[in-house]
Chains A and B, each alone.
Chain A
């Protein structure tokens, strides 16, 4: 009985075993034959790692082919959050190997917390080959760390070009959502984030290359299978003269302002400087919190492009334009008015800048001596409309077809505008205000340069930023050449005759510059009229427009010094910048001397400022952390050091 049970049951077990065996064979056949294709693909995608090679970005070059933005080879380390195992340990190891400072660590940790899994977080760029190797050999212990040799954007002129070219940066998750192209999340790939870099993104970005490599599960590359080279982006030639741009930026020194120089023959923008500025290299590398904080807090607004986005009352620089409108309206330039320092308009007395008065003033004297009363008087006779029309014709209040993200085009007020904006009728005092470029009138520095160029040539010059070899004839403004000559002569007298800007004369033989000064009042009832003796933000703006050579205009320029205290701050800059166009050595000599007194080049001054800011922030932080003055002496010393450094940095202003 028992024997029988055993035999029967053993047979059952044998049968079950065969059953399992058949099941396994069937299962294996199913996986390896029916699903073979699928698993083959999976094993291939395991083995082969297709890495996109970010394309080299197209260069930005200036009119002479000199690089404005190029690429430099770069060793970099990124973290791919998705593959990270032990974040704390990995970051600590990297910090040790690469000697990262506390601020960098804070940024990395913050970005790691916020990062979507697909987006690489930059640890460091611009490493030397030793640091790069130190990280590379430890890779097996640090999954998620990705070292790469790539290219990074480089702006040789740094801050001088910041506002115009913008900068590049890592694509944001919004960018990726909009365009889920894998190249966007390839470490080291950057897209234009501002300025020309952003506007010409499509042209500059190029096509990524691809590298197929065999990799182990840990990401170690075993061998390269094949590569497709990248197609670099196309270069973009700008009309700028980068040397001039850099000179202008440096010449602005510690001031806040803008220099715009146009080529009168074509409208090419030779320089469009706005200072202070930021270093696009820092932005492209991923700017630090402290550096960004400093830029944002600065009352000189380094993040704002003053050439196109700062609006100023043009002040007396509009007088040649107003004179042209008078001439067209039929005013005899020889008609005079007596200036005794002011003019009664309605129940208010409008003063001339010269309290003592100019005496008999005709149109030429009104321009070169900048007599306000002359314009008050005749503007009332001729009315606002011809003036506003002429202002528009000469480019004020106009938006230009420039490849920029935004430009503010200001205001040329007229009765219709006033009704719409403030719902009131135009008054005589509005005309009086407008005629000397005050009141509602607002312009940006580029518009001033365009106005200068149009007065210089009588042609409808439109500013251009992108180099275009073919010459399109420029429309004429249909101004009477006699009128133009008259105004141009008066502007020449501003500099070369009995005018207000004798010191603006060019130190170049045979090249005479014509110009017009302007001082835009920054009126504040609490602080009175702004001269040199009030706080910076209440000082008047200094303006100057000019063109040269006077008798055969080639260059037109505008300089605006924000809160410069008056036109005296502006025309020396214009003089030196135009000197640079004719004699670079002479201009550089002047600049070198000045920079010594300002505390170094732009970069040196920015570095000092940065150090002072950092020290102050650290002191504030320390003070906040230790409200009880446990070590008052140390805190005080730190604050003193910060203050000293800050004072040194400001010494030039």
Chain B
């Protein structure tokens, strides 16, 4: 960097910020088109939020590892209390509710839980003596940490978020060195339990989503409608798309949620395979950076946290894209940086902020138990 630029600015992780800016700007362009060529109601707000949250991420990157360590459990407890609060308000209001209305923002605590669970689980395995990673003591606290928030989020009900939370925590457990057979056995158990869960744990509308996912043509006007229309939007885009502002699926409302969960389909219709590969490539760079941060981190906590956060963002992207391409059931997960939505963008930028903080302060080799 040149000498003209002050050191604090020059030291900012410009490459990462630029990457995020490219993704968010593309999101802006897509949302602008989704509104029929208008800044309102989505595109303008999307960009404003992005700028604010980038600022927030830069502020977060200034905190040191010790801060995150200290915050891990209190943050977890605070988010659990918020989830409880949502349940109570929802119960009083006589219906399901996912938000806490704080006046200036409608906060979705389940989103924050995605971050809090990473910090708490990473902190737990950080505290766990390495000799015990292969014992029962390494497992049950993980389930204890997951049980309460998952129960609360499932009550909302929000299957997509629950899956992300569980997946993030399990990834950390895997990276922490829990025996492989647990994961293989667990996978087998899920294969057996899934049909049972389907019949007993899922709401009827969720069951329908699963059956419809398996055969969307069965219900072209109901639950299968989303998947069918999304595939039509992506498939009709072809190699280079129908062109900016020329998407008919989104403009004529055939594609539902074209500005949130199905924003990728909106994009693919106008930009084609070319646009899709571009988005995938940007995400690839982002995850490579995230895992690189984890690899380079020197302490166990920062390693686990960085990897966990990267995988959390990855789950957003993977589940969302599999969903819009008809590879997974519709579960309601937005696409980072492209979907319009405040809470999820905040979550992801917190993840990015913590990742930048770890990149900036890789720590010293040899943690508490090293």
Chain A residues within 8 Å of B, Cβ to Cβ: 1-2, 5-7, 9-10, 13-14, 17-18, 20-21, 23-25, 27-29, 31-33, 35-36, 38-40, 42-44, 46-47, 214-218, 222
The reply to whether the CB of B300 lies closer than 8 angstroms to some CB of chain A is yes
The reply to whether the CB of B249 lies closer than 8 angstroms to some CB of chain A is yes
Bound complex: CA of A241 vs CA of B221, how far in Å?
55
Residues of A within 8 A of B291 (CB): 10, 13-14, 17
The reply to whether B171 and A13 contact each other, CB–CB distance below 8 Å, is yes
The reply to whether A222 and B252 contact each other, CB–CB distance below 8 Å, is yes
**In the complex, which of the residues A1, A14, A39 contacts B235, with contact meaning CB atoms closer than 8 Å?**
A39
The reply to whether A24 and B280 contact each other, CB–CB distance below 8 Å, is yes
Residues of B within 8 A of A14 (CB): 287-288, 291
Residues of A within 8 A of B175 (CB): 5-6, 9-10, 13
CB distance from A21 to the nearest CB of B (A): 6
The reply to whether B280 and A32 contact each other, CB–CB distance below 8 Å, is no
Bound complex: CA of A515 vs CA of B266, how far in Å?
85
Residues of A within 8 A of B239 (CB): 32-33, 36
Q: Nearest A residue to B234 by beta-carbon distance?
A: A31
The reply to whether the CB of B311 lies closer than 8 angstroms to some CB of chain A is yes
Bound complex: CA of A38 vs CA of B232, how far in Å?
9
The reply to whether B325 and A21 contact each other, CB–CB distance below 8 Å, is no
CB distance from A253 to the nearest CB of B (A): 57
The reply to whether B130 and A7 contact each other, CB–CB distance below 8 Å, is no
Residues of B within 8 A of A17 (CB): 287, 291, 314, 318
Interfacial residues of chain B within 238-291, with CB under 8 A of chain A in the complex? 238-239, 248-249, 252-254, 268-269, 272-273, 276-277, 280, 283-284, 287-288, 291
The reply to whether the CB of B322 lies closer than 8 angstroms to some CB of chain A is yes
Residues of A within 8 A of B237 (CB): 32
CB distance from B121 to the nearest CB of A (A): 14
CB distance from B264 to the nearest CB of A (A): 9
CB<8 Å pairs between A and B, sample of 5: A17-B314, A25-B277, A36-B235, A36-B238, A39-B234
Known: A24-B321, A32-B273, A36-B236. 6 other contacts (CB 8 A): A20-B322, A28-B277, A31-B234, A40-B236, A43-B233, A217-B253
Residues of B within 8 A of A44 (CB): 236
The reply to whether the CB of B295 lies closer than 8 angstroms to some CB of chain A is yes
The reply to whether B280 and A31 contact each other, CB–CB distance below 8 Å, is no
Q: Nearest B residue to A215 by beta-carbon distance?
A: B252
**In the complex, which of the residues A7, A24, A28, A46 contacts B248, with contact meaning CB atoms closer than 8 Å?**
A46
Bound complex: CA of A435 vs CA of B187, how far in Å?
103
The reply to whether A10 and B294 contact each other, CB–CB distance below 8 Å, is yes
Most buried by B among A5, A17, A29, A47: A17
Bound complex: CA of A218 vs CA of B253, how far in Å?
8
CB distance from A639 to the nearest CB of B (A): 51
CB distance from B284 to the nearest CB of A (A): 6
The reply to whether B231 and A216 contact each other, CB–CB distance below 8 Å, is no
The reply to whether the CB of B55 lies closer than 8 angstroms to some CB of chain A is no
The reply to whether A43 and B232 contact each other, CB–CB distance below 8 Å, is yes
Residues of A within 8 A of B171 (CB): 13
**In the complex, which of the residues A33, A42, A218, A222 contacts B273, with contact meaning CB atoms closer than 8 Å?**
A33
The reply to whether the CB of B91 lies closer than 8 angstroms to some CB of chain A is no
Residues of B within 8 A of A7 (CB): 295
Most buried by B among A10, A27, A40, A215: A10
The reply to whether the CB of B22 lies closer than 8 angstroms to some CB of chain A is no
Residues A27 and B130 in contact in the complex (CB < 8 Å), given A10-B295, A13-B291, A40-B238: no
The reply to whether the CB of B143 lies closer than 8 angstroms to some CB of chain A is no
CB distance from B351 to the nearest CB of A (A): 15
Bound complex: CA of A217 vs CA of B233, how far in Å?
13
The reply to whether the CB of B303 lies closer than 8 angstroms to some CB of chain A is yes
The reply to whether the CB of B210 lies closer than 8 angstroms to some CB of chain A is no
The reply to whether B252 and A40 contact each other, CB–CB distance below 8 Å, is no
The reply to whether B252 and A32 contact each other, CB–CB distance below 8 Å, is no
* Nearest 5 A/B pairs, CB to CB: A39-B235, A43-B236, A217-B253, A5-B177, A31-B235
The reply to whether B303 and A29 contact each other, CB–CB distance below 8 Å, is no
CB distance from A34 to the nearest CB of B (A): 9
Residues of A within 8 A of B234 (CB): 28, 31-32, 39
The reply to whether the CB of B327 lies closer than 8 angstroms to some CB of chain A is yes
The reply to whether A27 and B307 contact each other, CB–CB distance below 8 Å, is no
Bound complex: CA of A378 vs CA of B352, how far in Å?
122
CB distance from B22 to the nearest CB of A (A): 17
Bound complex: CA of A42 vs CA of B249, how far in Å?
10
Q: Nearest B residue to A36 by beta-carbon distance?
A: B238
The reply to whether A32 and B238 contact each other, CB–CB distance below 8 Å, is yes
Bound complex: CA of A27 vs CA of B277, how far in Å?
11
The reply to whether A6 and B248 contact each other, CB–CB distance below 8 Å, is no
The reply to whether B252 and A46 contact each other, CB–CB distance below 8 Å, is yes
The reply to whether A6 and B232 contact each other, CB–CB distance below 8 Å, is no
The reply to whether A24 and B252 contact each other, CB–CB distance below 8 Å, is no
CB distance from A48 to the nearest CB of B (A): 9
Bound complex: CA of A364 vs CA of B304, how far in Å?
127
